[in-house]
Amino acid sequence: MLVRLQKFLAEAGLGSRRYCETLITGGRVSVNGQPVTVLGAKVDSGKDRVTVAGQPVSIERKIYIVLNKPAGYICTSDDPEGRSRVLDLLPTDLPRLYTVGRLDVNTEGLLLLTNDGTFSLRLTHPRYKMPKTYRAEVAGTLADDQINQLLHGVWSEGELLRAEKIFGVRPVGERTELQLVLREGKNRQVRRMLDGIGCSVRRLVRLSIGSISLGNLKLGEWRNLTNEEVRSLIAN
Ligand code: URA
């Protein structure tokens, strides 16, 4: 597909389109060995060879993955303790991927991974208030006033943390299960809120982000998001 040279350079991660224009007009960009110094040129990202200051530049294929993360796996790519990484659950021939936000090592469930920084920001920045649904199991019972506290806000480390919605509260053996919808995306938010009302979390699973839910994915399994799913998440 033909795209403007400055757009190609920006998508390859060299900087803003404006900055990439200055790279072109400054004579640092060549296409198929020929310097291009005027704006307006178009390139085919699949065919043309683009270099900046002699270094080849390419646009990575964008990848969007949904994974059902098992407990015990970390979201970072390096771990001094040598624990298993969610990246180890994926094929090795994929481009370098990053998790969209994080789940704690002991949290299970829906995790998105991508190499598209704009997509990731769209889903994680608090400004967009992306809804995320969790199922938690806590020890013992849960009183109505504890549920009200979760809805009205629980202070933790100087932040007031709120659940937008609580539903599906039911006893399961010695535990109580509940589902929470959060839109704030604060670090370790569910555990901090439940700790804050005196509940001990025994299990935490993320069920959905926006319109994407775990569906039939088994623990440790993954699949690519469809184009439609990617679009619906961004449009949310
Ligand atoms: N809230 C938490 O406490 N932990 C997670 O992993 C995700 C949300």
Residues contacting 230, CB < 8 A, separation 6+: 64, 119
User: Which of 99, 104, 179, 194 for a ligand 1 pocket mutation test, highest count of atoms within 8 Å of Cβ?
Assistant: 104
Q: Note down the domain range covering 9.
A: 2-57
Q: Is the pLDDT of residue 236 over 70?
A: no
Q: Do 205 and 216 belong to one domain?
A: no
Query: Collapsing DSSP states into helix, strand and coil, what is residue 135?
Result: strand
Structure tokens at 6: 């400055």
**Contact 99 CB / ligand 1 (< 6 Å):** no
Residue 64 near residue 214 (C-beta atoms within 8 A): no
If you average pLDDT over residues 204-210, what whole number do you get? 97
Average pLDDT of the residues of the chain: 94
**Contact 103 CB / ligand 1 (< 6 Å):** yes
pLDDT value of position 124:
92
**Global confidence as pTM:** 0.83
Given the residues 48, 78, 79, 104, the one annotated as active site: 104
d(CA 197, CA 187): 17
Q: Do 138 and 204 belong to one domain?
A: yes
Q: Do 122 and 223 belong to one domain?
A: yes
If you average pLDDT over residues 57-69, what whole number do you get? 91
d(CA 98, CA 189): 21
Identity at 87, one-letter amino acid code: L
Q: 31-41: per-residue pLDDT in tens?
A: 999 999 999 99
Ligand 1 center from residue 208 Cα (angstroms): 13
If you average pLDDT over residues 150-161, what whole number do you get? 97
If you average pLDDT over residues 72-85, what whole number do you get? 92
- 144 catalytically annotated: no
**67 has which bridge partners?**
111, 222
Distance of CA 219 to the CA centre of its chain: 18
Q: Which helix (H) or strand (E) holds 98?
A: strand 98-99
d(CA 103, CA 89): 15
**Contact 188 CB / ligand 1 (< 6 Å):** yes
Q: Do 147 and 195 belong to one domain?
A: yes
Q: Is the pLDDT of residue 30 over 90?
A: yes
Q: Do 84 and 102 belong to one domain?
A: yes
Residues contacting 233, CB < 8 A, separation 6+: 119, 122, 123, 130, 209, 210, 211, 212, 225
Q: 3-20: per-residue pLDDT in tens?
A: 999 999 998 888 889 999
Ligand 1 center from residue 204 Cα (angstroms): 7
Q: Do 136 and 29 belong to one domain?
A: no
Domain count, the chain: 3
CATH label of the domain that carries residue 184: 3.30.2350.10
Q: Do 178 and 223 belong to one domain?
A: no
**113 has which bridge partners?**
65, 99
Query: Collapsing DSSP states into helix, strand and coil, what is residue 130?
Result: coil
CA end-to-end distance (rounded Å), the chain: 27
Q: Do 81 and 103 belong to one domain?
A: yes
